[in-house]
Amino acid sequence: EVQLVESGGGLVQPGRSLKLSCAASGFTFSNYYMAWVRQAPTKGLEWVASITNSGGSTYYRDSVKGRFTISRDNAKSTLYLQMDSLRSEDTATYYCTREDYPGITLDYWGQGVMVTVSS
């Protein structure tokens, strides 16, 4: 059974940093692209970042480029999202997703972790 379990969320002040983790199990992690998707309170979902299976290439939405870094450790089957220079508009639930690319794309999701950016 595919499982994705996020951790690392919480309350952080604007301008500070936070690092999310996603522990994956139930599949061969190194075979899949992975992604982060977020949903701000009362807003829709938006894709944040993706990483290839090897970690060699990464992709970001414009609003987080230069501030967020997606990475992975295939030996630990873990995905990360380093979030720097956080802004209030980054407040959201962040979901770790498996990206079956090219293919179905976002086929499995974690339950999400809340990040609140506030002073």
Partner 1 sequence: DIQVTQSPSSLLASLGERVTITCQTSQSISNNLNWYQQKPGQAPMLLIYYATSLQTGMPSRFSGQYSGRSFTLTITSLEPEDIANYFCLQHYSAPWTFGGGTKLELK
Residues in the site for partner 1, rule: CB under 8 A? 4, 44-47, 59, 61, 95, 104-112
* Residue that the structure tokens 């630990």 belong to: 76
- Least distance between partner 1 and beta carbon 53 (Å): 17
CB 14 within 8 A of CB 87: yes
Nearer Cβ to partner 1 (4/34): 4
| Cα 9 from chain centre | 11
| Rounded Cα distance, 118 and 105, in Å | 33
| Least Å from the CB of residue 86 to partner 1 | 20
Distance, in Å, from the CA atom of 116 to the CA atom of 4, rounded to the nearest integer, reads: 21
Nearer CB in complex with partner 1: 80/95: 95
Give least dist CB 44 to partner 1, A.
5
Q: Closer to partner 1 by CB, 14 or 69: give it.
A: 69
Q: Which residue's CB is nearer to partner 1, number 16 or number 43? A: 43
Q: How far apart are CA 60 and CA 53, in angstroms?
A: 16
